Structure 1
């Protein structure tokens, strides 16, 4: 932890050293002083008037590595040149770190301009063509995938076609990430990706091939996907099942349905989700629906305390079924009700009732009307949670007839319900909503008010303009309001919104500047780039977590332990400080997406809450494998108290969300978590 005075002293000292006005310290002391200065500049988001770039270019290898990591985290496009130069460095470790940093820049929350992407692509292609070091080459392939330009995709396709083993698998994985970035896949060798799925290939290569095919959403992927549905590795077969939901046909429903009985819950969850997608394309008899109806006997597993078995049910409910599948939802709900008397504990009973309400909400989505959730859950499931859940699903409905009925919930005392009702009238605008939405603009709940501003813009309610303006003027003091308020402000004020938005470009919070630049680009039709700004010296600082610190999460379903990452000491330290305050006691895992993440830490319980401040991102080299702890974000440097745990590898999150720990004991407890599960407490050790 460095005080503002210490930061100034370090900056002044290194200004003299780098200018040659004083002799350097002995090498070990010089490295320590340099790394301390870099850490301070990084947290302040400062380039230190060129001194940080100078250390990235001329420091010792260890200092250059640390400086390159800081530049990746700061993400100022003006520093791309030094990163491009570093991919040709004489040190393999420096080249690898520079490639990683360029990949992080490619995923910047404020999109790069096309000429910047083209420049980065040329340099990365040149470096990859001659790179011999395995780690550096892997980082270069990852960076090309994150850039996702046509030339980058072409090189990755060539590597997939002509390389073997680990390198071909890495190329396939990078292509899968590029696909998620919106890259064109017209000339990708999908047949070659399918060959990586042969049992003779190492698991890492099979995973890369499966990741590409699952995310391709192209018919050419089908042969390979069918080949790996029974792969011995759960992560591989889960991806293949997932891909079948995108491109499979009626003839695939039976084999996908067989995976509902998979011994690994996340694979079964992907099967339920895939079958729901196949059912949406059914004409006439539907094998996919028949397979889903066969889940009914497994309700007894949930009642007997096997919470992880509920992931397949949750995945189905979240995906939803067309109206023709209503009979399946009815039969599954009946099975849950019949299993309820056999529930072995209050926890099991709550799981059964929560899943029943989830399926009820899926039924309400089918008809676009809040109905079934009004009667689900008995007296154990809180009304606010049920209503919010049902309204969220009505908002997703293709049927709009329930929008007028949702208006009444705009005055509900529960903020979660208000937000969900706002989502409904945003998705299905009705004039009856204008006045109650307008009233929310001046409410005490800033999150609800900001959402109302966005909804007022959708409704084109010009009478709401003064209230939206007032909220826009609050953004400099309440940065979390920026995105939804900007949406409403631009929609209602038009060109008159420009002056205030331009003032946001000078705001110290990176996300406010990002929102302003995106809004101005949309408003003016010309690209606007948010300028880089260092944080003021009095900006909130985080205390670092001590090396070796662990957290133990206590839930009603058991405990699990997380080892925190020394590479993200400030992010880790923030969670440690909150845990020691008892901040997490009684909070829920408000978001659980099977085979993806379990997310918690929100005091509001609706995904919009935090501790009242934000922390800076600390992107690390830790990959999002199964069981990794990540920081939930809504933009650059917007971390707070919300965290998530991955159920399975998530390569598209690497280099974008701070990964700062990993489950070391009790991963089976994470697998048992369902929406609404409560944290008893989070303990810190030592």
Structure 2
């Protein structure tokens, strides 16, 4: 392919110092592939979402460039590019290029994606490409109905993930259930059984007739990840034997993650039959299981014996468990005044801000504590407390016992909170004000405080809070809400930094819980990696906290506020690759596509519902035991680059 002068000028204008488009072979020198400036050009066009500028690379004579250009569209997700990608998928001579095109098409939700992938499935011969086609078809189809699928292990993994993706989108039926259950058979590879397990754990519906195979996998599969996912599937089985098995798992499985999932399965069972097992689980040897059990008990807030649960709360030594149980007891008691005062006293004596915020959350069931909570919105309190108080007050509005006659009192509190200018409080309260069921339209007549709040927020920093504020203003003005604004391109990748990052670059995250070593994927996510490394070099993460830990899901950190609502005056682009979220994957947190910034998380186990939706930029190579023991409020001491 020849280089046009127009294209060369365009690239030179976009990639400063990168040179013109190469027509020959890529350079092999340098610490990563971006020593070849063409890869920079492709990544830069991906970062700026410039589909037209990427099209010429799809026809390049170099298959590595074609592959990367195709993968770029997995992040751009431009429906107009699907037909161009289909030419690669159906005709390119390189299997890696075809696979990249299949992945990108599967990432792009549009009418023709499933049709093109089904057509390619009938023509493709390479097993790896076929597996990617199958998974992409599952993501994009409205009804899974491929024919002539091999029944051996050749395509079993791709088939399993195809079923899972279709099930998540509501495109799988009982016929798919019948096909998927066979993939749990131990004769299939671990990766196949894992896909099938997640299908039943998160996506399948009405599979009671197949329960024996699920029961066998939960108790006997050699792979802990399969046991985890199938244990979660027990919540979807109505037979009482599912409860009995979940209780057995809770007592016997050595992996805390399986036991945590067993508590979630029990939450879906009748309260009286599962109560004893969950109360016992509050005393599990692993704190994460105790927390998961307390969250499951909280799901029965209308049925729980409140005095018994309150007694468990008082005796608990884990503050998260205590707060969850207090919330359950207070809700079950219909806001018992004495218990509410007890919780208020516990709040006052607590010194941990995260414990305080959790106790505020438990008071959402005590209308008499409204003013006690409202006082905590003051700017004299830390952001963690302010956002927790705002969340508790809004939750109070949504209780079944909420009295709409007090709307004006709440409206006054919300207006006062919004006037503080705290972005999180603005967003949380605005969401309540815009809710048509809560009756605030007649309680607020002067919108000045909303207009003033809008002046204090800006994109991209306040994206998550600006959207509900815009919705509230539109609601009170009596007009339709405009489509949410998108973050503009505002933070170019630092290519000088990227080109100096080795392929195997590592970093040690030193925390009060212990050290975690991660390895970066600079060639797959240069924007995310360079952003993280730049922040680490500035000591940005030092003395920030893990503000969110969900048992057997993620530990999340990086928020400058410490409550998950914080960010900086920039955002970076999403970078979606074929890499799956597994145990120890490090990903960028976001409020939607292209809203990433400074927050990140580490996964406790495979989390396929994050694949292709959150940027994976690193993985844990040592210290996973620390991640499993991480708790809310644990502090990052430093992040240091190592080789």
- Taking structure 1 as the reference length, the TM-score comes to 0.78
In structure 1, the residue matched to 2:323 is 357
User: 1:465 Cα deviation (Å)?
Assistant: 2.7
* Alpha-carbon distance, 1:683 to partner: 1.7
Q: Deviation of residue 73 (structure 1)?
A: 2.1
- Measured at CA, do residues 371 and 208 of structure 1 come closer, stay the same or move farther in structure 2, by a change above 3 Å? farther
Alignment deviations for residues 298-330 of structure 1 (CA, whole Å, 9 cap, x no partner): 3xx4xxxxxxx1111111223324233546644
Which structure shows the bigger proportion of residues in helix conformation?
Answer: 1
1:614 aligns to what?
A: 571
1:119 is matched with 112
In the alignment, is residue 270 of structure 1 matched against residue 261 of structure 2?
A: yes
Q: Specify whether residues 67 and 60 from structure 1 end up closer, same or farther in structure 2 by C-alpha distance, changes over 3 A only.
A: same
- In 2, the alpha carbon distance for the partners of 1:401 and 1:175 equals 50
1:171 equivalent to 2:159? Answer yes
Q: 1:617 to 1:418 in 2, by over 3 A?
A: same
SS of the residue corresponding to residue 645 of structure 1 reads strand
CA contact (8 A) 2:461 2:567 kept: no
Give the 3 Å change call, closer, same or farther, for CA 381–289 of structure 1 in structure 2. farther
The Cα shift of 1:25 comes to 4.7
Q: Any idea what the Cα deviations from partners look like across 1:504-526, whole Å, max 9, x if unmatched? A: 76x6x25xxxxxxxxxxxxxxxx
> Partners of 2:279 and 2:295 in 1: how far apart?
16
Structure 1 segment 312-323 matched on structure 2, within 5 A: 312-319=289-296, 320-322=298-300, 323=303
Find the counterpart in structure 1 of residue 99 from structure 2: 96
5 Å-filtered alignment, 1:274-673, equals 274-278=265-269, 281-282=270-271, 286-295=272-281, 298=284, 301=285, 309-319=286-296, 320-322=298-300, 323-324=303-304, 326=306, 329-330=309-310, 332-333=312-313, 336-337=316-317, 352-367=318-333, 369=335, 373-376=343-346, 379=349, 381-382=351-352, 384-392=353-361, 406-411=373-378, 413-429=381-397, 430-431=406-407, 432-458=409-435, 459-460=440-441, 461-463=443-445, 465-472=447-454, 474-475=457-458, 479-480=462-463, 481-495=465-479, 498=482, 509-510=487-488, 535=489, 541=494, 543-544=497-498, 546-547=501-502, 548-566=504-522, 567-673=524-630
Cα separation, 2, equivalents of 1:649 and 1:378:
39
C-alpha separation in 2, matches of 1:611 and 1:23: 34
What is residue 228 of structure 2 aligned with on the other side? 238
Distance 2:521 2:118 in 1: 32
**Closer/same/farther in 2, CA of residues 260 and 628 from structure 1, 3 Å limit:** same
Greater displacement, 130-139 / 53-62: 53-62
The alpha carbon displacement at 1:59 in A equals 4.3
Structure 2 residue 206 is matched with structure 1 residue 218: yes
Q: 2:250 aligns with which of 234, 256, 260?
A: 260
What corresponds to 1:194 in structure 2?
A: 181
Secondary structure in 2 matching 1:577: helix
CA separation in 1, counterparts of 2:564 and 2:454?
22
Number of the residue aligned with 2:402: none
Partner of 2:217: 228
How many residue pairs match? The answer is 594
CA distance in 1, matches of 2:362, 2:189: 41
SS in structure 1 at match of 2:47: helix
Asked whether the equivalents of residues 177 and 207 of structure 2 are also in contact (C-alpha less than 8 Å), the reply is: no
In angstroms, what is the RMSD of aligned CA positions? 3.3
SS of corresponding position for 2:507:
strand
Query: 1:438–1:456: 8 Å Cα contact kept in structure 2?
Result: no
Q: Any unmatched runs of 5+ in structure 1?
A: 1-6, 16-21, 107-116, 302-308, 338-351, 511-534
Distance 1:123 1:479 in 2: 39
Q: Kindly tell me: are residues 335 and 477 of structure 1, through their superposed partners in 2, closer, same or farther at Cα, counting changes over 3 Å?
A: closer
Structure 1 residue 240: Cα displacement? 1.4
Query: Residues 265-292 of structure 1: CA distance to partner in whole angstroms, max 9, x if unpaired?
Result: 11111112222221xx34xxx3311222
What is the rounded CA distance, in whole Å, between the counterparts of 1:77 and 1:627 in structure 2?
A: 32
Q: Distance in 1 between matches of 2:177 and 2:616?
A: 31
Distance 2:545 2:571 in 1: 20
Following TM superposition, by how much is the alpha carbon of 1:331 offset from its aligned partner in structure 2, in angstroms?
Answer: 5.8
CA distance in 1 between counterparts of 2:305 and 2:289 reads: 16
Counterpart selection for 2:46 from 42, 47, 59: 42
Task: Report the alpha carbon displacement of residue 670 of structure 1 after superposing the two structures with TM.
Answer: 0.7
666-675 or 195-204: bigger deviation? 195-204
CA 291–85 in structure 1, closer or farther in 2 if over 3 Å, else same? same
